[in-house]
Structure 1
Amino acid sequence: MSSPYQSLQRTEAVARHELLDVEEYDVRLDLAADDSTFGSVTTIRFTSRGGPTFVDLKPVRVNEIRFNGSTLDADLLDRGRLPLETVEGHNELVVDAVMPFRNDGEGLHRSTDPADGESYVYGMMFMDAAPSVFACFDQPDLKAPYTVHVRAPRDWTVIANAPGTNPEPGVWEFARSQPLSTYFVTVVAGPYHVIHDQHDGIPLGLSARKSIAGALEADADELFTMTKQSFDELHRLFGIRYPFGNYHQAFVPEFNAGAMENPGCVTFRDPLVFTSRVTRGMRIQRASTLAHEMAHQWFGNIVTPKWWDDLWLNESFAEYIGNRVTADVTEYDDAWVDVAYARRQWGLYADQRPSSHPVAGNGAVDATAALQDFDGISYAKGSSILKQLAASLGDEVFFAGAIDHFTRHRFGNATMHDLLESWERAGAGDLSSFTSSWLRTAGPDTIVLDRGANVVRRTPPAEHPADRSHTFRVAVATDGKWSTRTLTIEGPETPFVVDGEAVVLDPYEDSWAVLVPDADTVAQLKTLLPAVEDEGLRAGIWNNLRSAFHVGEVSAADVVDLVVASPPVESTEDSKRRLGSWLLSDVLPLAPAGSIERVHAAALDKVGTTPAGSEHQLAALRMAISTSTDPAELRGWLASTPAGIDLDVDLRWRVLVRLAALGATDAAELDDALAADPNGVSRVEHMRARVSLPTPEAKELAWSVFTGAHDVANYELEAAGLGMWRGGQEELVAPYVDRYFDELPATVGVRSGWVLADATEFFFPATSLSESTLERARALAADASLPLSVRRRLGDCADDMARKLQSRHAFPA
């Protein structure tokens, strides 16, 4: 099945940009009409060179279309496009339509809070969702100012990109915005709890659902403090003031991404308002996300990429600056360490897949193709390369070039070449070699130590050869003490005399490569790792080990030995990019019998020996819960947690989900737990627990979510997929392996965009680790009739499975 809408071709975008200049949008939204749809009246004023074009529109129905004073037939609308025969000079289009509220995190997303039954709305227009909210020329280089008017229920607060007023109950009027790309437009509306502040003449705001108002109030001082610190530093670095009026940070429910940088009204996923206790890692993640979105106000919002394949410029720049600002001016001066745990392998794994692509210049033919490259390469690799460039050029040249770029293209669009020219004007010299080697060539070099030959070897990827030089620090352990030296690699082999028991290449991420420790180092680390106090070095060691495991050079048994020797409680947040999740999903399924019990014992020991109430004790308890095979032990934690740790909603559901996976609870107990505390977290974790039960009914529930027979919002969709495929339940879910491949194509008819690709990954039968499953995945990924996003995720899942199978063959458990 194909999408009901056409994806914008780059050639079409170029033609439309050459034809049109958009003067302004006037958008009137009626959010009070009903719960499933809203009214949208868009007036677009633009000039044209004269000739045919089209406007993008994805309505439930059209009430009226008027173009230059004449009524157009709504039946002209075809697959999201309304053809227009423009006249030379001024044109005016008015579209009166009814639009859908969505529950997939795109367009205008509407959700109901289970805690109190209140409804909340937010806009997410990224990539191609804006036409489901208002008629528009949906491409990044047709910027225009927006004037937005909203009618909403009388008890709602409405926030948009520009400052607004509430002249009468239920009516909201917003000032004319600065020129915006369509994908930056947003409206946040509902009975949100709002907190106000100001800094340096900038009005500041925070908002979240009423049911988590207490948590927002508790975090408000930290959030405002980081915002103010970041503004001061960004103003210092760029010398250009924030130009979008108010700066509101809205924490919204069921948000797909971490955040979205809408000028004047940044939206964040509301689990970043902490309703349960979290580790420092999660607080760093929130701080760096906040600074990342603030950096976007300059790189992305003042100057926006001309086309989607330069989107890496937005993300790589914001990733680098956001992490730097967090580390330099907030209380989280260890931010780069947490980034190493959370982001490095995300980018390296993506860069080693068959789907790897250059950081820049991908030549995306349409918006859908560009979306596929919005990944760890765009963020983590691009950020790493910009960090190297900044270190090479020095801050004076690096920021002078950025300022020149912002000034020349203020409120407009630009390309990578424009930015490179700005750096060269600022004194960077010729950057063509750097661009060719690092930005336009895909794949990482692999760098290994050959201890016997006293050399370090660099091997570029065979599919993407490049002659890159690397300069980085090397950590060497001699008699248990660590020291560092600097190594420059400019050819296939570089002499390196080994004078220690362990050698860790580039632990501080000075360069970008797959770094593989030698066997002697791996063996020695089992003794050395527990004593490593340098947090950056510990992160670098774990990243070397993860890379080695990924390329099949370190066994799952070795990883388990290292975990048991020194449980990695520094990085156990629930994300597939973190060490704890990697251990559970990738390592333990390949490890020898008894490994989960060994890891559990090590985690329990850490719970008992770590200071009571510390974040590392909390992380260790999480690991102990995830690896427990004893229902009595788990129920003991429901009755009494270790001293210093409270049984909050997060820990309670961790225990219940684990009991469900072990078959030590039932649907009735889980339903009662949800009824006792019906909040957003409970709703999602209840779904995860229900489908984790080892019963046919549980798996049928999960499958009904996959097929769309049981419609749920995006967070529950993810929980259903990841909870369905549990280790130890392979026989129960075996019938669903073939059904996944048979029925996946039909899901194109029930979901689209972001969640279509996500569901492909979430429901992939990862526990069916066999050559036959791998063959089916590869075959379906090659089916050209499927949307590119589905094929891409399938291919990536197949690559992960192939690597696990290779590891199983190389290191039989």
Structure 2
Amino acid sequence: MTLTRAEANERSAALSDLSYTVHLDVTNAASDDATFRSTTQARFTTTTSRVMIDLVADEVIAIEVDGKGADAEVRKGRIYIDNVPTDRPVELRIVARCRYSTSGEGLHRYRDPEDGHTYLYTQYEPMDAHRVYACFDQPDLKARWTFIIDAPAGDTVLSNQAEVSTEDLMPDARRHVFGETALLSSYLTAIIVGPYHKVEGPTWEGTYPEYFGGPEVHVSIPLAAYCRAALADRFDSDDVFAVTMAGLTFFHDRYQYAYPWGKYDQIFVPEYNLGAMENPGCVTFNEHYIPQGEPTAAQRSSRGNTILHEMCHMWFGDLVTPVWWDDLWLKESFADHEGTAALAACTEHTDAWAAFASGRKAWAYHQDLLPTTHPIEADIPDVAAAKQNFDGITYAKGAAVLKQLVAYVGEEAFIATARRYFAEHAWGATRAADLLSALGEASGRNMSAWTDAWLKTSGPSVITMSEDGTRVLHDCLDAVTHLETTRPHRLVLGFYRLGDDGLELVERRPIDLQDGSLTLDPPLPGDVTIVNDEDLTYAVCRLNETSREAVLTHLSSLTDPVTRAVAWSSLWNDTRDALLPAANYVHAVLQHGAGERQSVLDALLRQARTAWRSYVPASERSALLDDVLEQTWQQLSNEQDRGRARLWALAFTAATGDRPVSQQTASRLAEIRAGSVPGLPAARDLSWAAIIALASGGGATDHDIEAARAEDRSGYGAVMAAQASASVPSEARARESWRAIWQDDLSNEFLDATIAGFNSATRTLDFDPAEGYFEQIEAAWTNHSIAMAERLAIGMFPRGAEIADAPKGATGKPDPSAHPVIRATDQWLMQASDAPKALKRRIIEGRDDVLRALRAQAAAS
């Protein structure tokens, strides 16, 4: 049962002065027991005698109010307690047995196949704390928390605060008591249990205001990092600590508010659904951020960005928290923007904004051009809707719009806003109006028109340079209301001349674009115009035809990495919008990609992969893959930089898996596995990528996969072996995978791997999953947790559509909208009027992705 905004508002108005003592007994973690004992003592004052508290449990053992049995009703996901004393302190005690999770929600349990160890960690956002203990599970009901954990003796046990005492319970169990937290939302509390490997880090120290404008205090923050024992030998913790130390200095200088959470533990955990989670004092990360081989610049940059994103949350989100999930952008957009700003300013990864422009913003444009787009400041009626809005709009579009805001009001006003916001709202919960009020005071501007234009409308603006170079054209139609809207854009036009050495900068001209068009006076002085040259604004920026042709030929001659990233973004949006043949984009990446730094090249090769798999018609794909295989191998063979070599190798393996494997290709894959390509050391992830490619292309047998698994007994190896097995292109294997996906109780990562393998195998099989998908998806959605249901809804949507299978339309050419997958989807949407909105959203998005691919194929045919 989902919590609605109305219910949350009503409960928030009634409750005050919250604190909790939570006692968990997980001493049975290593056994086959499915549940653990959970005890909550919640202290509060209420103005209403009927109180609702959230809890998902297999069994509720006891419910007491002030030490006496309570008048209570247990329903799915919640407990209603009647006759609760009002207007005075009350203690509610609930004892239950809650379930260990394998979906990454609640208290996740992982058994390491390599050494047999058992690891636990929690993940709650937006509303899964009540899967572990009874609580008022909404962001604005902040409380002070004390955790007591009974755990196997010898295990590391962590929470948000430092441990204050321990007690031996029996030879094989130990009790851990943690200090009381400051005011904290339930979704930010955290528990870690298991034989995690610990690395003691340095202690960050500095003298900063206790709060902006307040007295200075000495700040001392001890650092530690943790991972599974099996990963200890390749945990590059020195880089983690270097980024963390630099980030703490950056954010203290920027916000002038002392870090208020005490310690700073960072724990890398297995089978994690997210990149990371900002639990204060106990930040959790996906262990995939620990590379399988020698860390590359791209891998360290990606991890560094995530470390700094989560660190920003210690202020934006943890110290000051959105009242409800419709203001999720108040923390996520800021963390995305500020994390990138910190990465560029205080680490070696100075290309962070170029990577943002070519990669992160591509996510934003993709999400914002879907029929399900929404404003940054979204309408979130319940938690089910909130879970789907952790998306490219809330994160990447919001961050890009904040970059435009900085250009609009200035860096000083932006930073002053943050400082004022923290000082005024520390330990509280806010709405957008609170931040915008601080922004207005700091900038001296009335921000209401800007807010309405940018935060309350949907879809991107489209900005184009006229072919004659005299006018900038601005088109903005709200994608939800379908009404014309005007957004103020402050951006830069870059004018370039085509010379002997390629494209040479002539002038960068700042402009303010308000209305539908702007006439340039004086006219352009160059041959090529890059719209939004410094990537200050958020818009789909088109190259005119003359500029596009020049950029396709000479892109790598542009000297500024952000300019190149903006040009790449324009080309990729044109590819997705069927304005540029996808094969042209792939060839541009192959021609110019080698000159990019690793983080940008990573994004470009991922986009090229999407292009050749989805946007190129089948009639042209084989010839294109011949080029891709040969050119990626040549780039790999000639590359001196190990990080870029790794990216070319991954692109080679991806292309290999999209066609039957030749003897030459198999030999090259064997070289990658063995680490015998000059400049490319052997690495576990590259080895498995090669095996999966062989399996997908019919070049590896079950015996080969089993032999590879025997060489790699790690948990990662187990997941990759499952993907390789599911990738074998046989109808029998596809049906076996299909059954396992829909019927077996797979953990989150094994489900992902099996789905990926199944989709790879069925690209070359006469196996139509569409009918079975639409028959099963609604029941699967109902019977699974949201994290697992989303995997099924998104991962199993029939995406491998070919334009050749579409019937011809009135023009005599194949009609994308009449393709069998589109028709089956439309029929389901028409008949499933009572299906959950969240499920229908994913189906609508899948339809749009397929239709976009078919249109691109049709345009290129």
**Does 1:422 pair with 2:438?**
yes
Say if 1:184 and 1:203 are closer, same or farther in 2 by CA, change over 3 A: same
Matched with 1:718 is 752
Confirm whether residue 410 of structure 1 aligns to residue 426 of structure 2. yes
Residue 858 of structure 2: which of 789, 809, 812 is its match?
A: 809
Aligned residue pairs total 800
Corresponding position of 1:482: 504
Equivalent residue number for residue 637 of structure 2: 608
Cα contact 1:105–1:714 (8 A) shared by 2: yes
User: In 2, distance between residues paired with 1:235 and 1:589?
Assistant: 52
Counterpart of 1:246 in structure 2 is: 263
In the alignment, is the contact (CA less than 8 A) between 2:565 and 2:600 conserved in 1?
Answer: no
Structure 1 residue 685 and structure 2 residue 720: aligned?
A: yes
Gaps of 5+ in 2: 169-173, 206-219, 807-818
**Candidates 689, 692, 695, aligned match of 1:660:** 695
Is 1:183 matched up with 2:187?
yes
1:529 to 549, 555, 571: 555
Task: Specify which structure has the bigger relative contact order, considering alpha-carbon pairs within 8 angstroms and separated by 6 or more residues.
Answer: 1
Q: Compute the TM-score of the two structures, normalised by the length of structure 2.
A: 0.89
Identical-residue share of aligned pairs (%)? 30
Task: Tell me the secondary structure at the aligned position of residue 474 of structure 1.
Answer: strand
* Alignment deviations for residues 219-271 of structure 1 (CA, whole Å, 9 cap, x no partner): 21111111111111111111111111111101011111110001110100001
**Which amino acid is the alignment partner of residue 751 of structure 1?**
H
Partner of 1:3: none
Conserved? CA contact 2:583–2:611, under 8 Å? no
Letter of the structure 2 residue corresponding to residue 777 of structure 1 = T
CA-to-aligned-CA distance 1:81-116 (integer Å, 9 cap, x gap) = 111122212221111101100011110000111221
Q: 1:733-772, CA deviations, whole angstroms, 9 ceiling, x for partnerless residues?
A: 22x2211111111212442122311321111111134512
Q: State the match for 2:490 in structure 1.
A: 471
Give the equivalent residue in structure 1 for 2:177.
173
In structure 2, do the counterparts of structure 1 residues 167 and 191 end up closer, same or farther at CA, with 3 Å as the change threshold?
same
2:66 to 68, 81, 85: 68
Could you tell me which residue of structure 2 aligns to residue 313 of structure 1?
A: 330
Q: 1:728 to 1:39 in 2, by over 3 A?
A: closer
**Equivalent residue of 2:75, what SS?**
coil
Matching residue of 1:147? 146
Query: C-alpha deviations, 1:33-82, integer Å up to 9, x for none?
Result: 344211100010110113323111100111111123332477x2111111
CA apart distance, 1:730: 4.5
Matched, 1:562 2:581: no
**2:10 corresponds to which of 5, 8, 15:** 15
Describe the superposition over 1:359-381 as per-residue Cα deviations: whole angstroms up to 9, x where unpaired: 01x23111111222221010111
The 5-angstrom pairing of residues 448-467 of structure 1 reads 448-452=464-468, 454-461=470-477, 463-467=482-486
Alignment match, 1:302: 319
Q: Is 1:194–2:191 an aligned residue pair?
A: no
Deviation at 1:133, TM superposition (A): 0.3
**1:475 and 1:236 mapped to 2: Cα distance?**
33
Q: CA offsets per residue over residues 105-157 of structure 1, 9 Å max, x none?
A: 11000011122111110000111211110001111111100000000111211
Aligned to 1:731, the other structure's residue is in SS state coil
Which residue is equivalent to 1:441? 457
Contact 2:503 2:554 in 1 (8 A): no
Contact 2:734 2:761 in 1 (8 A): no
Q: Residue 518 of structure 2 is aligned with which of 478, 484, 494? A: 494
User: Which secondary structure does the structure 2 equivalent of 1:678 belong to?
Assistant: coil
Check 1:331–1:13 CA distance in 2 against 1; reply closer, same or farther (3 A cut): same
For the structure 1 residues 584 and 808, does the alpha-carbon distance in structure 2 shift closer, same or farther, using more than 3 Å as the test?
closer
Greater shift, 694-703 or 507-516, is seen at 694-703
The alpha carbon displacement at 1:384 in A equals: 1.1
Offset at residue 335 of structure 1 (A): 1.3
- Name the CA distance, whole Å, in 2 between partners of 1:296 and 1:589: 44
1:227 aligns with 2:222: no
- Whichever residue aligns with residue 722 of structure 1, its letter is A
Say if 1:204 and 1:248, in contact at 8 Å, map to a contact too. Answer: yes
Which segments of 5 or more consecutive residues in structure 1 lack a partner in the other structure? 1-5
Aligned to 2:810: none
Q: CA deviation at 1:293?
A: 0.4
**CA RMSD, 1 decimal:** 2.1
Alpha-carbon distance in structure 2 between the residues aligned to 1:349 and 1:237: 32
Provide the C-alpha distance between the structure 1 equivalents of 2:139 and 2:568, rounded to a whole number of angstroms.
39
Q: Which AA in structure 1 matches 2:569?
A: N
Deviation at 1:453, TM superposition (A): 6.7
Query: Structure 1 residues 593, 625: CA separation in 2 closer, same or farther (over 3 Å shift)?
Result: closer
Match of 1:541 among 532, 547, 567: 567
Please state how far the C-alpha of 1:500 moved relative to its aligned partner: 4.1
CA–CA distance in 1 between the matches of 2:766 and 2:554?
Answer: 42
Q: Which residue of 2 aligns with 1:637?
A: 672
SS in 2 for 1:91: strand
1:477 Cα shift? 3.2
Distance between the aligned counterparts of 1:290 and 1:523, measured in 2?
39
**Cα distance between partner residues in 2 of 1:477 and 1:723:** 46
Per-residue CA shift, 1:605-661, capped at 9, x if unaligned? 2123322x5322222222222223433332343345311212211110010010011
Matched, 1:598 2:627: yes
| Equivalent-residue separation in structure 2 for 1:109 and 1:254 (angstroms) | 8
Residue 209 of structure 1, aligned match among 222, 225, 228: 228
Deviations 1:484-518 (A, max 9, x none): 42243222222354554433222432111111222
Secondary structure, counterpart of 1:733 in structure 2 = coil
Tell me if structure 2 keeps the 8 A contact 1:343–1:577: no
Instruction: From the superposition, tell whether residues 618 and 589 of structure 1 become closer, same or farther in structure 2 (CA, over 3 Å).
Output: farther
**1:426-457 Cα deviation digits (max 9, x unpaired):** 24321001100001111111112221473222
Q: CA deviation at 1:305?
A: 0.3
Distance 1:749 1:366, change over 3 A: closer
Q: Aligned partners of 1:694, 1:266: CA distance in 2, in Å? A: 41
In the alignment, the residues of structure 2 paired with residue 667 and residue 67 of structure 1 have an alpha-carbon distance, to the nearest angstrom, of 59
- 2:651 corresponds to 1:623: yes
Match for residue 82 of structure 1? 79
Q: What is the DSSP-based 3-state SS (H/G/I as helix, E as strand, rest coil) of the residue aligned with 2:459?
A: coil
After superposing on structure 2, the runs of 4+ consecutive aligned residues of structure 1 that deviate more than 6 Å are: 572-577
**SS, match of residue 404 in structure 2:** helix
Alignment of 1:272-421 (within 5 A): 272-360=289-377, 362-421=378-437
Tell me by how many angstroms 1:282 deviates: 2.1
Deviation per CA, 1:760-804, whole angstroms, max 9, x where unpaired? 111111113451211222443563433333222211111111111
Corresponding position of 2:22 = 27
